[in-house]
Structure 1
Amino acid sequence: MNKFQSRLLFAIIFLIIIVFLCMGFMLGQFISSLITNSAEHGTSVEKTVQQVWIALIVCLGIALVIILSLIVRITTTYTKPIDAATKAVKELAKGDYRARTYEDHISAAGLLGQSINIVARNIEEMTKSYEMQHDRLHTLIENMGSGLLFIDSKGYISIFNRTINEIFKIDQDDLMGQLYYEAFTHKEIVTLIEEIFMTERKLRRQIHLTIGSEQKDFEVYATPILGANVEWKGVVLVFHDISDLKRLEQMRKDFVANVSHELRTPITSIKGFAETLLDGAMNDREVLDEFLTIILHESHRLQVLIQDLLDLSKIENKGFSLNLSRVNVRELLENSLRMLRSKAEEKEIQLELTVDDLTTVIEGDMDRLKQVFINVINNSLSYSPNKAKVAIKATNLSDDVEIQIIDTGIGIEEKELSRIFERFYRVDKARSRNSGGTGLGLAIVKHIIEAHGGAVQITSKVGEGTTVTIRLKKEISSSKIE
């Protein structure tokens, strides 16, 4: 029983005593009056006692009615509202912020209920706002492209997002509540976290990690979390995957280095032979013819390289457009083979063309597609041994035409296939240069085919040969032409 209930019980008892005292006093006065009247009129004692009992019962009944009325009144006014308020407060304590109690603007208990309801509504609104903010923050953290990791002041992992699991290929149960140096085996990450704990300063660092069989580069933002009164809360780390940026940067460096090398080689040859001729070698007719032939060959090589660079730059430019027309597939392939017939005869390579009878015409740029097939077939001829066979097959599909160039050449290792369309990338560098290749042909092929809305794929086995599969749309939508 609380203090309020004790006081209320005391007040009720006090009122009952007052009522009984009042009724007793009134009953005493009545009995005294009754006895006096009996004495004066000679009424018998039995009758007087009977009247006293009747008066006593009536008084007790009246007193009981009054007491019951007081109890009901007090209960209605104070006890029930307080019980309702107590129940509402208990529900609020349990987390049910929709709980409400009785309220009015007259009694103190009603005002108490009103105050409790105001508090409950405020808490409910704050809870809804908190839940909304929590959901937004959770969605943001879970769907951000970078990995987020929070480590508390004791070194335990308490918050992380889905990207962290995907990056490090670690299950959620293996991270939550684990010490950071037990969850991560990478020395670079452990060293970085320890440095934050020791220095309590922000860090931004690039790290290279081996995750499974993959090499990954990350830019890591790490910062200490300090609360009120500079209280240490923990460390937040954000892992931003920059592997693609690093790869593109390396490709750019390789491209510049390769262009410099490819340009330097023919220019050095031209310059050297020209200087030799000027030093007197030109007087020897045989030497003059030989050197001029070499200079012409190197000039042609230089011209081809520059033309390929210009073509690739033009194709990659957003302003590049196709000169579309109806292209007969058989005619396209026959024209391409005609340009390479002499090279095939030199190596005694058999060229075999098979065109499906249902394959008729496609929509495309005749000149660009011819450039594609000359490049691809020329590669097959270059990397096939003498007296080999190169087959070209065109097959009609529902919406596409599939063209395969199949050779029985040296083949390509599987690890090389992913880079085969990179600029200046060569599987056999020495042989490619000797054959006059610039290393840009397949890069140009890929861009032209994609500009037509098609796809190109290469499959190969070392020692068995290579198959280049090209799919071209019969009809090109305007969204594909850029």
Structure 2
Amino acid sequence: MLRGFSVELRRLLILLSVCALVGLWFDHVVWALLAGSGLYVAWMVWQIRRLNKWLLHMNDEPPPESSGIWGDLFDNIYHLQRRQMQEKNSLQAVINRVQETSSALRDGVIVLDWRGCLDWWNPSAQRLLGFHSSDQGKSVINFIRHPRFVNYFEEGNYGEPLEIPSPRFTAKQLQFQITRFGRNERLIVVRDVTQLHKLEQMRQDFVANVSHELRTPLTVISGYLETLSDSGADLSPPWKRALNQMQQQSKRMSLLINDLITLSRLETTESGYNHKPVKLEPLLLSIKSEAQALSGEKNQEITLECESKELELLGSEKELHSAFSNLVTNAVKYTPADGKIAMRLWQAHGQVFFSVRDNGPGFDSKHIPHLTQRFYRVEQSRNSGTGGTGLGLAIVKHVLLRHDGELQISSEMGVGSIFTCVFTQTPSDK
């Protein structure tokens, strides 16, 4: 550009010098300089016209031939245009590659604009949801009208995926996971989980059926063992020891079956069914009495602090009793003799809290994400002697989910543990 500017300046000086010499020859220097300036301006206007014409047809024509600053200007614009075309082709190749990859996915992929309207989707999404090319720019809620999806989409809390029946095929179950990106655009991944849903239903049915079928023979076995134990029969020490062990394992299996039946009922019955206001203080007083009886000779100090005697929750009294009782029972089992267990109920910021604190051995924080899994054990050796089934916290988790609540856990080795139930809905909220 500097070289072209120098050439252009030299050209202008030569033109003005020639005009000045001609003016001196004819004794009209001023008019000669004006005429030369006019010619230069006309030439500049012509170059501007050429530039404008080429810019209008730059995709079809090479840049005009020129010299000086205009030659540099044409060449620079041409090189910028070529670089832009290369970058555009490169970006288009990336876009085509992404679209090809997305088209090969078995999961549906939907891109929404900032308004929540359809912008792009892959063939799998078209197959699962029945989109057509004319649907571009329409709201996704027009095609997925299930109330749970509408609430999920509008609330904007996309931490967990949503499973609902397919709006197109009633026999299919679809999972929707939404992710935000860009300027409030959203990406929806749609997955067909029909097979997983059927397997989960088979698992639930199997557990429920087996648990009920095992209950009858176990009751018969326990009855005969109790009869033998109460009959006062003259048994040798080895047989007495065997009889005691059979009774212990029979009771443990009975507890396990009861917990499996409870879990099965929580998983298969509709959430919110037959809920009514439940006064919490009488419920917790009953659980405290049960805990004191279970504590027995361990001489543990079990306390209950209720902020309000009138505090209520909308829910199932039986389910809430099961959840709270499991937390307190665990505290009794794992807290040593003469230990302290504190139950507390309070309300704050429109939420109801119930916590169970103990000064037992505690556990490492790495176990917290897994504690509500079925049959999870922190330490196999320690738990084998407690008589637990490994299902207590799983039951707590399911009960809280059915009551719009969550379980918060904190623990410190050698200090103790705190289990807190947080409920977001009370009768007044309804």
In the superposition, the TM-score normalised over structure 1's length comes to 0.43
Q: TM-score, normalised by structure 2?
A: 0.48
Relative contact order: is structure 1 or structure 2 higher (C-alpha 8 Å, sep ≥ 6)?
A: 2
